[in-house]
Amino acid sequence: MLRFLLTRVSLVIPTFFGVVFLAFLLIHLVPGDPVEVRVGERGIDPVRHAKLLHEMGLDRPLSTQFFDYAGQVLRGDLGLSLVTHRPVLDEFLTLFPATFELAFCAMIFATILGLPAGVLAAVRRGSIFDHVVMGASLTGYSMPIFWWGLLLILTFSVNLHWTPVSGRIALDYFFDPVTGLMTVDSLFSDQEGAFRSALSHLILPTVVLGTIPLAVIARMTRSSMLEVLGEDYIRTARAKGLPGWRVISIHALRNALIPVVTVIGLQVGTLMGGAILTETIFSWPGIGKWLVESINRRDYPALQGGVLLIATLVMTVNLLIDLLYGLLDPRIRHRR
Amino acid sequence: MKRQLLGAVAALAIFAGFTVAAEAKTLVYCSEGSPENFNPQINTTGTSFDAAYPVYNRLVEFKPGTTEIMPALADKWDVSDDGLTYTFHLHKGVKFHSVKGFTPTRDFNADDVVATFNRPWKADDPYHNVSGGAYDYFNDMGMADLLKSIDKVDDYTVKFTLNEPNAPFIANLAMDFAAILSKEYMDAMMKAGTPEQVDQVPVGTGPFIFVDYQKDAVIRYKANPDYFRGKQKIDNLVFAITPDATARMAKLQAGECQIAPYPNPADIEKLKADPNLKVEQQEGLNVGYVSMNVTKKPFDDVRVRQAMNMAIDKDAIIKAVFQGAGKPAVNPIPPTIWSYDKDIKPYPYDPAKAKALLAEAGYANGFTTDLWYMPVQRPYNPDAKKIAELIQADLAKLGITAELKSYEWGEYRKRLQAGEHQMGQLGWTGDNGDPDNFMGVLLSCQSAREGGQNLSKWCNKDFSALIDEAKKTSDVAKRTELYEKAQVIFHDDAPWIPIAHSVVYMPMSKKVVGYKVHPLGTHIFEGVDIQE
């Protein structure tokens, strides 16, 4: 097990440095001179240009800049935002709870709908229900988030007035964040209706962000179930005269779930990508929206820091899943 | 009996009055982004200026909806005969806001004005390097070089001395960067060791007091009860930060906000059709144009430049590219700026006459030119490539071959300013509503130098003399006359093909009254009310 652990962790280290390098290159790969971009169309004389370039530290050799940056990152310093002059890490940590709350709800939504849908589709293979699940998941998987989000807003918010258009809570409520999770904070605020408001604001973004994972989980569960249902031990169980639901829930589902859990873990990357669009549509004040704003304002340190932190997060989750998987299924850690 | 009835009616009226008064009026504005901070001295974006605007006043301000100057924190000002000294007489009894951790002990006075301008101007000011210490607007408007001294004469009199006469100076002081901060607050925060607080929790004299900001979510303000122009009719002002244009409009339609800026052009008709909404509009303070480089053949010939102006179907461009959100341009300044000459007749779209003029100039068979288009979208030009293609097609009808060219944005501007092009598109958005901010910056002989903003490198001595003269006097009537003369010269000598001024649309609930679209693009909530 130790050997397995070390191999996996040692693979992550070069990946991490690759990401640091790419994040560093961002500022040099994005077209345009950061100084010119900063001053807009007003134009700038060469003296001030040089001064600003120097202030931004961009006149030093590329290698110096990289080693400085990597050193900074290793010390946990992601620099200051060009725009707010606050540490990038602080900004990230203030906004992360909002993204976490949304992503968590989206995952719950996707799992509690996706698992049963997949199981039922597998059990009733070829039925109308199976075809509906397969068709809907394919549609959901290929749905552009932007279009899907706006469609839901127009239907449920603008026309039916059932849900709010955007934001995390109605503007009448306001209290200082404690955990940063609006659903939790609203319970502590003792303002009547705050929790309900927070919940109603979560509905549409959760559905939009959860749609792709939902589709993936449903399809994965179905195919994994089908594979397991064809195994000998299921036939044995049935032959023993066990009731059908018992065969499916105890014998089949437990084994079918192993790959599904991996897939759920892998959705973290998808969720982060989806969050950028979802948060923008729903004005959800999380890191996705923060990244978009940083791009718009050419706030390179924020952009670099954000990309780095998200990549690190995804890598960490994947590593944990790998380890968990190795723990659950000994065949994997002994494979060479 | 009658008396009793009267008493009952009076009691009812008082009761009704109370219930109305008890209901707080809240105006929600769906803003398009998060501010960088709340100090306009160190900002550069409209989004941030908007967020600070309700909190602050300036010495002088723009009349809502116009670019005319009106007194604000300064009741009046005297200008010396040589145009070098401006003496401002300050309004008395103006109160600064109280916020968490700071309560002012004195009224606004001359010390605040001096301290406000010292921060960006004096490198040794204790506040100069706070929050990054970049004062882009202050520097770009040339204030650092223009100012010689700022002196407090007495508590309510401040004297600004300039190094040279500069008529746009007053207009500059109406700009966002010239917002007046509290010296007392700055000192208190410096003493407390939290100088950055000044830029994050703003204290001004304005119509609204800053309450709270949740990044990327909401900014809250409440009406300033002691505002020197009178308390506002709305009690609370809320900015609901909503970056996506479609979501912004959906919120407006769902009644979650009352005003929302920057609709997608494609949505405007739908918004106009909504019975609960009205869509106000105004021409933006900008101009998009094609510069013709007069130092290069064939554009050194005025007949060719005039022919080009007649060869291009501007209306078709407005229709195809701006989708109606633009007006064809005639002069180098937009019609919302004072001194705009309405009497100038635009060049008609007349290919036959253009052809005749070209023949007269010796180009009967046309010629080959380059035509540069911007790689980015700007307010004054939503799609430069499309415009270039339309122009190319129009010119082809006269036998002129135009080769389309573009560069990365920074490079593009650098090369245009160096005069490498023959024909090139660019534009300008005004800073302060002063005609000099367009004509002086974009068309004078000084700016025709290599690297200057005069892309046509057009140096017309008569035009430049008029502009210089107008810049040195602060008599608006005289300046207007000079600028009108200059516009005639510009029209006849035709160094540009002026293309368009974009139109700014502002959709809002029908209940909103008193909101005026500001030509400089600021969103101003002073004097706005909601009627049920």
When CB atoms are compared, the residue of A83, A150, A290 closest to B216 is: A290
Residue B274 lies in a domain: no
Confidence (pLDDT) at A68: 85
| B278 falls within a domain | no
Of A40, A166, A293, the CB nearest to B247: A166
Chain A residue at shortest CA distance from B219: A171
Q: Do B131 and A285 touch (CB under 8 A)?
A: no
pLDDT single digits (tens) B56-115: 999 999 988 888 899 999 999 999 999 999 999 999 999 999 998 899 999 999 999 999
Q: What is the CATH number of the domain that holds B62?
A: 3.90.76.10
Would an 8 Å CB–CB cutoff place A143 in contact with chain B? no
User: Cβ distance A214 to A113 under 8 Å?
Assistant: yes
Query: What is the average pLDDT score of chain A?
Result: 84
A293 touches chain B (CB under 8 A): yes
Express each pLDDT in B311-332 by its tens digit. 999 999 998 888 878 899 999 9
Contact yes or no for B254 and A158 at CB 8 A: yes
Interface test with B, best of A173, A278, A283 (most B CBs within 10 A): A283
Residues B469 and B519 both lie in one domain: no
What per-residue confidence (pLDDT) applies to A336?
A: 47
A12 pLDDT above the threshold of 90: no
Q: Name every chain B residue with its beta carbon within 8 A of the beta carbon of A28.
A: none
- The whole-number pLDDT of residue A334 equals 64
Kind plus residue range of the DSSP H or E element containing A36:
helix A34-39
Largest CA-CA distance found in chain B, in angstroms, rounded? 100
A155 CB near a chain B CB, below 8 Å?
Answer: no
Q: Do B246 and A150 touch (CB under 8 A)?
A: yes
Neighbours of A116 (CB within 10 A): 13
| Same domain assignment for residues B186 and B170 | yes
Task: Quick: pLDDT tens for A91-106.
Answer: 899 899 999 999 999 9
Which pLDDT belongs to residue B21?
45
CA closest to B45 among chain A residues:
A297
A200 touches chain B (CB under 8 A): no
The fraction of chain B above a pLDDT of 70, given in percent, is 96
pLDDT at B156: 96
Contact list, A84 vs chain B (CB under 8 Å) = 36-37
pLDDT of residue A37: 58
We report the CATH number of the domain holding residue B363 as: 3.10.105.10
Q: Which of A42, A165, A289 has the CB atom closest to B254's CB atom?
A: A165
Q: Say what the pLDDT of residue A42 is.
A: 52
CB contact under 8 A, A36 and B216: no
Does B124 share its domain with B224? yes
Residue A266 binned pLDDT confidence (cut-offs 50, 70, 90): confident
pLDDT (0 to 100) of residue B15: 45
Same domain, B480 and B516: no
Question: CA-CA distance, A167 to B530, in Å (whole number)?
Answer: 23
Out of A36, A40, A85, the one facing B131 most closely (by C-beta) is A85
At A278 the three-state DSSP class reads: helix
Q: Is the per-residue pLDDT at B133 higher than 80? A: no
Q: Which domain holds residue B126?
A: 26-243+511-530
What is the DSSP secondary structure assignment for residue A153, as one 8-state letter?
Answer: I
Whether chain B has a CB inside 8 Å of the CB on A47: the answer is no
Distance CA A69, CA A78 (A): 8
Q: How does the average pLDDT of chain B come out, rounded?
A: 90
pLDDT tens column, B373-432? 998 777 788 889 999 999 999 999 999 999 999 987 777 888 898 899 999 999 998 888
| A102-106, A291-295, B114-118, B144-148: the lowest-pLDDT one | A291-295
- Please indicate whether residue B7 or residue A253 has the higher confidence score (pLDDT): A253
Are the beta carbons of B253 and A158 separated by less than 8 Å? yes
Q: What's the CA gap between B289 and B266, in Å, rounded?
A: 24
Q: Let me know if residue B37 belongs to a domain.
A: yes
- Main-chain phi, psi angles of B60, to 5 degrees: -130, 155
User: Could you tell me if B352 and B416 lie in one domain?
Assistant: yes
B243: nearest CB among A33, A158, A280 = A280
Whether B336 and B480 map to the same domain: the answer is: yes
pLDDT given for residue A222 in this prediction? 93
pLDDT at B174: 94
For residue A51, pLDDT over 90 is answered with: no
Asked whether residue B255 is assigned to any structural domain, the reply reads no
Residue A292, chain B, CB below 8 Å: the answer is: yes
Residue position matching structure tokens 């002086």? B440
Model confidence at B1, in pLDDT bands (50, 70, 90)? very low
Per-residue CA distances from B266 to A206, A293, B249 (Å): 28, 23, 12
Angle between helices A253-281 and A194-229 (to 10 degrees): 140
Please state the pTM of the whole predicted model: 0.81
Helix axes A253-281, A300-328, angle to 10 degrees: 170
- Report the pLDDT value the prediction gives residue A31, as an integer from 0 to 100: 61
Answer yes or no: do B211 and B295 share one domain. no
In this prediction the ipTM stands at 0.75
Sign of CA dihedral A168, A174, A177, A179: negative
Question: Predicted confidence band at A70 (pLDDT cuts at 50, 70, 90)?
Answer: confident
What residue in A sits closest to B453 (Cα-Cα)?
A: A43
Provide the pLDDT for residue A43. 53
Same domain, B299 and B235: no
Across the interface, whether the CB atoms of A167 and B240 are under 8 A apart is answered yes
Total count of domains within chain B: 2
Q: List the single residue in A with minimal CA-CA distance to B136.
A: A39
Q: Residue B18 above 50 pLDDT?
A: no
CATH 3.50.50.60 is the classification of domain A94-332: no
Q: How far apart are the first and last CA of chain A?
A: 13
Rounded CA gap, A119 and A250, in Å?
13
Same domain, B132 and B222: yes
Tens digits of residue pLDDT in A139-198: 999 989 989 999 999 899 988 889 998 888 888 787 777 888 888 888 887 788 888 888
Nearest CB to B408; choose among A32, A282, A289: A32
Does the pLDDT at position B121 exceed 50? yes
How far apart (Å, rounded) are the C-alpha atoms in residues B212 and B201? 8
Residue B308: is its pLDDT beyond 50? yes
Percent of chain A with pLDDT over 70: 92
For residue B22, pLDDT over 80 is answered with no
* Closest by Cβ to A281, choosing from B212, B240, B244: B244
A157–B254 C-beta distance less than 8 A: yes
Q: Which range among B17-21, B45-49, B266-270 shows the weakest confidence by mean pLDDT? A: B17-21
Among all chains, which residue has been given the structure tokens 């202050």?
B138
**What are the tens digits of pLDDT across the range A229-255?**
888 888 888 888 777 777 787 778 878
Separation in Å, CA of B492 to nearest CA in chain A: 27
Q: Is A15 on the interface with B (CB under 8 A)?
A: no
Q: How far is CA A76 from CA A70, A92, B66, B203, B275, in A?
A: 10, 13, 50, 34, 55
